[in-house]
Amino acid sequence: MRLIFLGPPGAGKGTQAKAISKKFKVVHISTGDILREAVKNKSEIGKQAKAFMDKGDLVPDELVIKVVVERLARPDTAEGFILDGFPRTEKQATSLDSELEKAGLTVDSVIYFDTSEETSVKRLSGRRVCKNCGANYHTITMRPKKDRVCDICAGELYQREDDKEVTVKNRLKVYQQQTAGLIDYYKSRGSLKTVCGDLNVDGLLNKMVEFFKEQSFIR
Ligand code: AMP
């Protein structure tokens, strides 16, 4: 299955993508994760992306498209992939279309996580991430067993710089201005499936698995 997860920051795309990827052994490609790793490693891409990410702005299209094209060329994507957080602009969407077309492929479905601003803000402001393994927690809904310590690897939990209040507001504004238009872009192609991003993790996962079965993406 080849899927795109579309929706505002804090819609739960990453959490669902991780769960689906594990359950159905399909590669999860998060441009946010790839870029954060690049920043951490101080690579050339990371150096160029950092200032945009810190402010909650989009990293320039050319850079992100290059990252995704390189990632999709790796053999582990042959059985399918979930693109989480990409595309985010029309330019990225058309570039993805033409890249896939070259390989004779299309996207099976675009899952749109329709999410209220209230939910997005609550999820982002309470999110805590493990510095070591990247696992996600939440100060209210998904607390670690020991305060600020990762259950999985005992790494230290921290709040992402761009999950702080001012940056969250900008990210939501940027989403409305530059990404929300993709809902109509994919709707007009008949590939959009809307799910309610306000549901809890298990509720949303069940809905998606039901849909994948209906579509015969899985058996
Ligand atoms: P995310 O983890 O998906 O919320 O992404 C974190 C940050 O990475 C975003 O606020 C952007 O600065 C950058 N980013 C991730 N994906 C993209 C993309 N497709 N286009 C531009 N910037 C991106």
Interatomic CA distance for residues 52 and 74, integer angstroms: 27
Average pLDDT over residues 156-168: 93
| pLDDT per position as a tens digit, 67-113 | 999 999 999 999 899 999 999 999 999 999 999 999 999 999 999 99
Average pLDDT over residues 4-29: 94
Interatomic CA distance for residues 152 and 183, integer angstroms: 36
CATH of the domain spanning 2-116+167-214, picked from 1.10.132.20, 3.40.190.10, 3.40.640.10, 3.40.50.300: 3.40.50.300
Q: For a substitution probing ligand 1, which of 37, 47, 59, 164 has the most ligand atoms within 8 Å of its CB?
A: 59
Instruction: Name the residue ranges covered by the structural domains of the chain.
Output: 2-116+167-214
Interatomic CA distance for residues 21 and 12, integer angstroms: 14
What confidence score (pLDDT) does residue 95 get? 97
Predicted model pTM = 0.93
| Catalytic residue list contains 13 | yes
| pLDDT per position as a tens digit, 175-204 | 999 999 999 999 999 989 999 999 999 999
Which residue of the set 13, 36, 128, 193 is catalytic? 13
| pLDDT per position as a tens digit, 27-56 | 999 999 999 999 999 999 999 999 999 999
pLDDT of 172 over the 70 cut: yes
- Taking the CA of residue 36 as reference, the ligand 1 atom at the shortest distance is 8
| Catalytic residue list contains 127 | yes
Residue whose CA lies nearest to ligand 1 atom number 19: 86
What confidence score (pLDDT) does residue 219 get? 63
What spacing in Å lies between the alpha carbon of 218 and ligand 1's midpoint?
29
pLDDT of 218 over the 90 cut: no
Residue whose CA lies nearest to ligand 1 atom number 6: 32
Nearest to 111 by CA among 216, 28, 7, 200: 7
Interatomic CA distance for residues 181 and 120, integer angstroms: 18
| Per-chain mean pLDDT for the chain | 94
